[in-house]
Amino acid sequence: MNDTSYLNSKYDWGIDALVAQLRNLRVQSLDTRNRRDKPPKLPSRKEQHIILDGLGAVLFPNRLGLPDLNDEGIDYFVGHTLETLLRKLYKQISRELHFISGHQGFDDAEHERAINIARQFAAQLPAVRKLLDSDIQAAYEGDPAARSPDEVLVCYPGINAIMHHRLAHILYQLGAPLVARIISELANSATGIDIHPGAQIDESFFIDHGTGVVIGETAVIGKRVRLYQAVTLGAKRFPKDEAGRLVKGNARHPIVEDDVVIYAGATILGRVTIGRGSTIGGNVWLTHSVPPNSNITQAHVRSELFDGGAGI
């Protein structure tokens, strides 16, 4: 008896039965969504990973682009790369629009809308670069361990996460929320920082360390805000409608005004406002608004003060 026949006789995995069971479950799932016949493809995480890497190179060609670029070749590299990436992005947006529509085939309106979204996204890339420059400078100035803005760009997970977010937020606003959500989850997988693409974040934003940071969909964050690891800007409760289904899209996450520092492990829940210039201490649990220039700490736990946003 050869090895193959021996294995076939010794190990009976029940493959045929498993395939049949999985097929039945798959068909039932598609039936519940009325998509049994040729269900549309979803946007691809793998393709969007390629797109995001390429967009980083377009925005920062000297640091995230090809290693041998010279001054004469940078513009060509940026233009050629951007042309390729926007075509890829258009296809991903088309998949989302087709998936949402439920149509059996693509129509001209979906194609045209996908092209317009990709075009409007591209038009905002200079503004994204400007915002990212402010984020990088905020990180460099806010962390004594940072030796240069270039180090911040290539090493800091918070910059990686905010770069993904600023790109995802544009797509979210333009009408491609699924593509945007995939981008945010790619950042979450890489950094441990979970920022919903709907969150509004102004300039000079710095997440130090970052692991475990969660920022909800309707959070609003002002200028020059600094967060440390394990900070949560979340919802306090999830209201339901008359049918018992969760209400979607209501404002349920905090508003953080300009020049606020939130230390590690702080949890802020609900549509509350953290007033400008406030400091929220580590491990604080906060479910109410605080006025500007507040200093919120755990009562009777520690007496030392942190000056100027000092941290680890």
The chain-wide mean pLDDT, for the chain, equals 90
Whether 175 and 97 share a structural domain: yes
Dihedral angle, C-alpha 79, 81, 83, 85, nearest 10 °: -150
E strands within the chain? Answer: 194-195, 200-201, 206-207, 214-215, 220-221, 226-227, 232-234, 255-256, 261-262, 267-269, 273-274, 279-280, 285-286, 295-296
Domain-ending residue, one of 146, 167, 192: 192
Residues 235 and 219: their CA atoms lie apart, in Å, by 9
Considering the chain, what percentage of its residues have pLDDT values greater than 70?
Answer: 88
* pLDDT over threshold 80, residue 304: no
Dihedral angle, C-alpha 5, 10, 16, 17, nearest 10 °: 170
Q: Report the amino acid identity of residue 33.
A: R
- Residues 265-296 have pLDDT tens digits of 999 999 999 999 999 999 999 999 999 999 99
* pLDDT over threshold 80, residue 37: no
Residue 53 maps to which CATH number? 1.10.3130.10
- Residues 187-206 have pLDDT tens digits of 999 999 999 999 999 999 99
Domain-ending residue, one of 192, 208, 238: 192
* pLDDT over threshold 50, residue 301: no
- Residues 209-247 have pLDDT tens digits of 999 999 999 999 999 999 999 999 999 988 888 888 888
Beta bridge partners of 220: 200, 255
The boundaries of the domain holding residue 76 are: 40-192
Residue 294 maps to which CATH number? 2.160.10.10
* Domain-located, residue 125: yes
Q: Report the amino acid identity of residue 263.
A: Y
* pLDDT over threshold 80, residue 312: no
* Domain-located, residue 29: no
Whether 277 and 179 share a structural domain: no
CA angle 278, 279, 285 (to 5 degrees): 110
* Domain-located, residue 98: yes
* Domain-located, residue 51: yes
Whether 186 and 70 share a structural domain: yes
* Domain-located, residue 17: no
The first and second tokens of residue 149, run together, are: 């803005």
Whether 188 and 50 share a structural domain: yes
Q: How many domains does the chain have?
A: 2
* pLDDT over threshold 50, residue 174: yes
The first and second tokens of residue 96, run together, are: 């989302």
Whether 51 and 170 share a structural domain: yes
Whether 99 and 129 share a structural domain: yes
Whether 44 and 180 share a structural domain: yes
Whether 188 and 203 share a structural domain: no
Region 150-175 average pLDDT: 97
* Domain-located, residue 297: yes
The first and second tokens of residue 226, run together, are: 């600094």
* pLDDT over threshold 80, residue 34: no
Whether 176 and 227 share a structural domain: no
* Domain-located, residue 95: yes
- Flag the least confident range among 141-145, 160-164, 278-282, 308-312: 308-312
How high is the pLDDT of residue 239?
83
Whether 173 and 214 share a structural domain: no
Domain-ending residue, one of 139, 157, 192: 192
The first and second tokens of residue 142, run together, are: 């806010």
Q: Report the amino acid identity of residue 142.
A: G
* Domain-located, residue 144: yes
Q: What are the backbone dihedrals phi and psi of residue 125, each rounded to the nearest 5 degrees, phi first?
A: -60, -40
Please identify which residue in the block is written with the tokens 């598609």: 30
- Residues 71-127 have pLDDT tens digits of 888 999 999 999 999 999 999 999 999 888 866 666 788 889 999 999 999 999 999
How high is the pLDDT of residue 132?
97
**CA atoms 99, 101, 103, 105: torsion sign:** negative
Whether 248 and 134 share a structural domain: no
Nearest residue to 226 via CA among 136, 139, 156, 133: 139
DSSP state letters, 10-58? H----HHHHHHHHHHHHHHHHHHTT--SSPPPPPPHHHHHHHHHHHHHH
Whether 296 and 155 share a structural domain: no
